Structure 1
Amino acid sequence: MKNIFIYTAILSGLIFSGCNDSFLDRYPKTSLTEQNAFTSYDNFKTFMWPCYNIFTNNTIGTSVGHRGQESHYLGDVYAGYLENKNVNGFNKYAFQTVGSVASGNGWDFSAFIRRTNLMLSHIDDSTMSPEEKDHWKAVGYFFHSYWYMELIDRFGDVPWVDKLLNENSEELQGKREPRKTVADKVLERLKWAEEHIGDFSAKDGPNTISQDCIRAALSRFALREATWRKYHEMGDYDAYLDECIRVSALLMDDYPTLYEGTDGQPAAGYGEMWTTEDLGKVPGIILYKEYAPNINATQLNYYEHTSAHWVEMNQATVDLYLMKNGKPITNGDSEYEGDRDMYSTFRNRDPRLYHTVIPPYKIKEGKGEYPTWSYTGNLADREYIDIMGANTTCSNPGVGMKRLPAQNWSASIVPEIPRLGTGSFISCRSGYYVWKNYDSWENNPALNTADKPIFKIEEVLLNYAEAMWEKGEFDQTVANQTINKLRKRAGVAEMQVDEIDGNFDTERGKYYPKGNTEGVKVDPVLWEIRRERIVELMGEGFGFYDVRRWRMAPWFINKTAKGLWMKKADLPADMKLLNEETGTADPSGTMTEGYVFLFNNPIVEGKGWLDKYYLYQIPTNEILLNPNLAPNNPGWD
């Protein structure tokens, strides 16, 4: 039922439009005023609809906004998992180009905080029943807390604003409260909301804030805060781990089934999560963004059929994907065939890779209307066409369809992958073109209506697994309850915990305790839990939150960004090979083959991740307006 999220876009511009424009704006004097608007249940429902825009607000990394490269991909680009294909698209954290900001930067108390505080201030005066009042208080606490989750993650210490302010409020010149204090208040509010929210889906609609949504937010927030406190050496994190485990277990009981998909492809349920028209019918979905034709269509799929889509994956991230036998490519038993051509790189890999990056193929380019093309006659060229299932029509062929050969926005054939370059449609410099939102049934941008997940059980399983390891309670039983459910759907061999030792992946990642510039290797089992999280949630915006809370940002970001292995003769004229000794493009031009050069090694250039990036800068204008916000976060003064 495509209702609440559709109405939101309209109502946010009509209902009390002034309150979103300025922290101190007054409402217009019309027949609908603050004094008479907050009386009935429907009044509160209508007023709170615009808060659902929080899930498409691009400040939040997991947002499902208008274009993936401006929303849910961006957090993984910042984390170093993904890249910008443009020649000047280097990682701004790797090359220290994150400039000082005067305003913005996510420092915002006017939209969601003010709106929820305004609503909460009128609950007691309404004509609603006590149960209805508790319900809307819980909904208000959810949205207030969800925005504070972002404020805490960005800035650490922030002011706590839990009441409606005016121009005379002392709080306008208030100090930042310690992160721990604010986080504890957020936790307290979410737990109150969990206990008091009512079952009013008949009034609110089926895809609205519920107890399960609150529990999903609690699971995410509690793990994020616990591990931030642990790895940033703040202490007092056990209660948060316990809370993550508690609510995650409740959700796991309520959502025992993963979506297997309908398309008959490997890992179809994984891929279709982002390419299905109605997620209301999909098991494991807790809350989702709804789209409808000609009302609130999105361009998420359309963009990935055009030359404007700039998201690609680098070789280091491709190397993180396991083989189908459950072994990392560095393991002697992995049966990995090497990366000297893309076909070998992708062969027998975790099928989730195929739903994230377009697999390799080659065809004879046809003329006229799709699908007039034919095979080359070389069996190797069709290997992944057969795995994914060949296209048969450009009309609406079915739910979640990812097929080869790929098409552009007008259904013109893409004759081969990899397709190197930056100008033509469905091309990239690394060779690993990201197509998470791509399907073959939404080519008209006005009709891009595939729903997008906001909360789903897959994330909760990963939260639970990680929290259980942090508590010292992760074992084979927990692995079977969590990671192995995900692997079974993906077609990857199960994790066997007792097989994982220091030699399971000798190239596993490092974290960087304060003052340690060399780094410490992550525990082998924990690394496999984190690997599973990276792969399962790839392209969904969790990356920059994760690498910062784990204190692993240097390991992911301070690398030479490189593409696939190529022969120089097959490269476009404006592209070069990487000289791995210098960390730069081949300076002599004498290399005959090698990895595609993307960007220089940041460390060679004297750059790289700075510890100050773990927290964002408070905008300078905000400190000018309120000097009590000073000092700025470490390194930003």
Structure 2
Amino acid sequence: MHINKHTTKHAPTCTPKHTAIGQRKQGIIAPLLRSILAGGALLCLVSCNDMDTSPLGTYPEDQFWTSIEKAQYMLNMVYNQHYSAGTMWNDETLTDNLIHARDFCDERTIRDGNAETTTTTFATTWKNLYAGIKTANMFLENIDKLQANQHTLTRMKAQARYLRAWMYLRLTSLYGDVPYFTTNLTTAEAKRVSRTPHTQVMTAIHNELTAIVNYLPRRDDLTNDERGQITRGAAIMLQARAYLYDADWAAVEQYCLMLMNEQEQYGHYALYPNYQDLFSQDAEYNAEIIADYEYAPRVRTWGEMHDMAPISVGARVNGRAPTESLVSAYLMEDGLTTDASPLYNAKHPYAHRDPRLTATVVYDGYRWSDNVPDGTTGKIIYTHPNSNITTDAYAGPNKNQTPTGYYVRKYYDAKHEDRLASSINIITMRYADVLLMYAEAMNEQGKMSQEVWNATLRPIRQRAGFTLASALDYPTTATQADMRDIIRRERRCELALEGLRWFDIKRWRIGKQCLDGYVLGARFINNNTENIRLDKYIFDENRDYLWSVPQTQMDINPNLMPNNPGYSR
């Protein structure tokens, strides 16, 4: 049984945006889907709960823990609760990569400097993550009641513990000190629990991952029906990512090397040969993918692209749009910035650029039919307001078209369903990130070298499509500070729109640099001499690296106070 085609129907009060499923894209799914939905009805309260409510509702507990199949339903639920496509796109909207300019969503409110203790996303994120943790805790407290193969039970427990660690890492990254517990809380306990210091939460996460890694399978050992399960490689990478967030460079180096050099132990990983195709259904489960969040045609899809793609290819309106800041980050073919390269021509600003720009962003004159295998011929996207074809063209603020002159290309599903519904898996961890983390760790320790460059940034750029020596060869005259800028830019462009940018801004402490001042779009104003100007972001260095503890939670439990700096209560 393919276990992490995660969940089930939810209660009507918290219906998710996407339908859930218990089987991946290959094979016959209908019988299994019926069983997942039937089992899921028993668990429908899980994702709607605060941390003290029983997920089983009125269903007799002694009748639930009677089979491995029922336990699997609950493990599937944990997979479902730990992440989603919507989470990734919301995270990107918190950054200088995307802006949601059509309405005042919470991400826009936060970036405009108007966040309060009552901001809805502070409460829903807290609640949803603790709901997932509660499901994991309940699963772990009851799974040993089953009379089943011990190897199967041990692997299932390791998966649940990994997912719980993932959710705690997200919680402490967003809120700082957060309540940490690994058992189900009673109502009374939930009203008394206090915040655990960030350092202690991180130590617990590292200890958890160390304890479970050898109970997880290698990627190489999974059958086709098991693809998508948490593996040893994912546990090692989550260790590296957690150490990265705390700037423990020696530990980042150690764990990245485990994935780079100890592949017999932790699984074989490698860069996928085509960057653009990496984010498609056809490339799923390739050797670059260390972990992903799964979707499947017709039965489990995500729909955010309906409000991000060009109107002429089937989008409804444009909600989120890439910014000029993101577009400007992409180098020229010679490896130089647009300011420094002789290849740059302001009249043709998107020519001779890093090929990853075309794989990520739709710009004026974008040759759609050359870059999207959807059967169109000769289709070009025009976003300039002076274009003769205005379907996708910038028309000013609060219009259906792009507010920045750009649309999202990355993750566009050429095999999409109605309303651009996509079943492309969302990649949460991939091998390119391992190489970038390793390069950064080596540079921060003063250990950057041509050997490190040739093992990390050079193959990443080669895969991207760079061919000139000036872009591929080790920059021998670069200082440590120069190399830091190179690695950070490379990381932004390689991992753009994958939900990681905010956490990089946070750990680099560059919020004021990136998220303070006007958000700009393409240079379409005053005869192409000025950029479109949108919101004026406000970033408070003393407040905005952490979210507020939700007001509703502080009202229930005074032990969650004092709040993070800059917020009331």
Q: TM-score range by the shorter chain?
A: 0.7 to 0.9
Which residue of 1 is the match for residue 139 of structure 2? 119
Which residue of 2 is the match for residue 68 of structure 1? none
Q: Which amino acid aligns with 1:221?
A: A
Which residue of 2 is the match for residue 474 of structure 1? 448
Gaps in structure 1 of 5+ consecutive residues: 58-62, 66-70, 228-236, 261-268, 362-383, 398-402, 503-521, 569-591
Q: Work out which of the residue numbers 114, 117, 136 in structure 2 matches 1:97.
A: 114
Does structure 2 conserve the Cα–Cα contact (< 8 Å) formed by 1:278 and 1:451? no
Could you tell me how far 1:238 is from its partner in structure 2?
5.0
Distance 1:608 1:286 in 2: 34
1:19 aligns with 2:14: no
Go from structure 1 to structure 2 and tell me whether the alpha carbon gap of 1:160 and 1:195 turns closer, same or farther (over 3 Å shift).
same
Could you tell me how far 1:357 is from its partner in structure 2?
1.6
Could you tell me how far 1:43 is from its partner in structure 2?
3.6
Q: Work out which of the residue numbers 545, 549, 556 in structure 2 matches 1:618.
A: 549
Which residue of 2 is the match for residue 215 of structure 1? 236
1:430 aligns with 2:407: no
Alignment of 1:145-184 (within 5 A): 145-169=165-189, 172-184=191-203
Could you tell me how far 1:86 is from its partner in structure 2?
3.4
Could you tell me how far 1:440 is from its partner in structure 2?
4.3
Distance 1:447 1:93 in 2: 28
1:44 aligns with 2:71: yes
SS at match of 1:525: helix
Could you tell me how far 1:350 is from its partner in structure 2?
0.1
Q: Which amino acid aligns with 1:321?
A: Y
Does structure 2 conserve the Cα–Cα contact (< 8 Å) formed by 1:157 and 1:176? yes
Q: Which amino acid aligns with 2:88?
A: H
SS at match of 2:196: coil
| Post-superposition CA distance 1:416-454 (Å, at most 9, x none) | 797212699983232222222335442633863333323
Go from structure 1 to structure 2 and tell me whether the alpha carbon gap of 1:25 and 1:174 turns closer, same or farther (over 3 Å shift).
closer
Could you tell me how far 1:487 is from its partner in structure 2?
0.5
Does structure 2 conserve the Cα–Cα contact (< 8 Å) formed by 1:357 and 1:435? yes
Does structure 1 conserve the Cα–Cα contact (< 8 Å) formed by 2:213 and 2:235? yes
Q: Which amino acid aligns with 2:229?
A: T
SS at match of 1:72: helix
Which residue of 2 is the match for residue 143 of structure 1? 163
Which residue of 1 is the match for residue 490 of structure 2? 532
Does structure 1 conserve the Cα–Cα contact (< 8 Å) formed by 2:250 and 2:441? no
Q: Work out which of the residue numbers 344, 347, 366 in structure 2 matches 1:337.
A: 344
Could you tell me how far 1:181 is from its partner in structure 2?
0.8
SS at match of 1:354: helix
Distance 1:84 1:414 in 2: 26
1:72 aligns with 2:3: no
| Percent of aligned pairs sharing the same letter | 22
Segment drifting more, 139-148 vs 492-501: 492-501
Could you tell me how far 1:48 is from its partner in structure 2?
0.6
Distance 1:623 1:439 in 2: 42
| Post-superposition CA distance 1:239-270 (Å, at most 9, x none) | 6435543444357784453222xxxxxxxx22
Which residue of 1 is the match for residue 256 of structure 2? 245
SS at match of 2:461: helix
SS at match of 1:561: strand
Q: Work out which of the residue numbers 276, 279, 282 in structure 1 matches 2:284.
A: 279
1:5 aligns with 2:5: yes
Which residue of 2 is the match for residue 598 of structure 1? 533
Q: Which amino acid aligns with 1:558?
A: D
Could you tell me how far 1:121 is from its partner in structure 2?
1.2
SS at match of 1:463: helix
Which residue of 2 is the match for residue 509 of structure 1? none
Does structure 2 conserve the Cα–Cα contact (< 8 Å) formed by 1:560 and 1:599? yes
Segment drifting more, 15-24 vs 549-558: 15-24
Distance 1:149 1:98 in 2: 22
1:501 aligns with 2:432: no
Find the structure with the greater CA-based Rg: 1
Go from structure 1 to structure 2 and tell me whether the alpha carbon gap of 1:19 and 1:88 turns closer, same or farther (over 3 Å shift).
closer
SS at match of 2:531: strand
Alignment of 1:469-618 (within 5 A): 469-492=443-466, 493=468, 494-501=471-478, 523-566=481-524, 568=526, 593-599=528-534, 601=536, 607-618=538-549
Distance 1:387 1:14 in 2: 44
Does structure 1 conserve the Cα–Cα contact (< 8 Å) formed by 2:363 and 2:382? no
1:325 aligns with 2:344: no
Does structure 1 conserve the Cα–Cα contact (< 8 Å) formed by 2:180 and 2:196? yes
SS at match of 1:146: helix
Could you tell me how far 1:337 is from its partner in structure 2?
2.5
Could you tell me how far 1:93 is from its partner in structure 2?
4.5
Go from structure 1 to structure 2 and tell me whether the alpha carbon gap of 1:176 and 1:335 turns closer, same or farther (over 3 Å shift).
same
Which residue of 2 is the match for residue 405 of structure 1? 380
Go from structure 1 to structure 2 and tell me whether the alpha carbon gap of 1:428 and 1:102 turns closer, same or farther (over 3 Å shift).
closer
Q: Work out which of the residue numbers 297, 301, 311 in structure 2 matches 1:297.
A: 301
Could you tell me how far 1:354 is from its partner in structure 2?
0.8
Q: Counting helix residues as a fraction of each chain, which structure ranks higher?
A: 2
Distance 2:145 2:487 in 1: 49
SS at match of 1:122: helix
Segment drifting more, 609-618 vs 534-543: 609-618
1:312 aligns with 2:321: yes
Q: Which amino acid aligns with 1:405?
A: I
Distance 1:389 1:126 in 2: 51
Give the alignment's Cα RMSD to 1 decimal: 3.5
Does structure 1 conserve the Cα–Cα contact (< 8 Å) formed by 2:512 and 2:539? yes
Go from structure 1 to structure 2 and tell me whether the alpha carbon gap of 1:389 and 1:115 turns closer, same or farther (over 3 Å shift).
closer
Does structure 1 conserve the Cα–Cα contact (< 8 Å) formed by 2:306 and 2:421? no
TM-score normalized by the length of structure 2 = 0.81
Q: Which amino acid aligns with 1:120?
A: L
Does structure 1 conserve the Cα–Cα contact (< 8 Å) formed by 2:356 and 2:464? yes
Distance 1:391 1:116 in 2: 40
| Post-superposition CA distance 1:564-594 (Å, at most 9, x none) | 22363xxxxxxxxxxxxxxxxxxxxxxx552
Go from structure 1 to structure 2 and tell me whether the alpha carbon gap of 1:440 and 1:20 turns closer, same or farther (over 3 Å shift).
closer
| Post-superposition CA distance 1:135-171 (Å, at most 9, x none) | 22211211110110111101111111111222344x6
Gaps in structure 2 of 5+ consecutive residues: 9-19, 22-35
Distance 1:252 1:336 in 2: 41
Go from structure 1 to structure 2 and tell me whether the alpha carbon gap of 1:565 and 1:423 turns closer, same or farther (over 3 Å shift).
closer
Distance 1:319 1:180 in 2: 36
Q: Which amino acid aligns with 2:547?
A: Y
Which residue of 1 is the match for residue 426 of structure 2? 452
Distance 1:152 1:467 in 2: 22
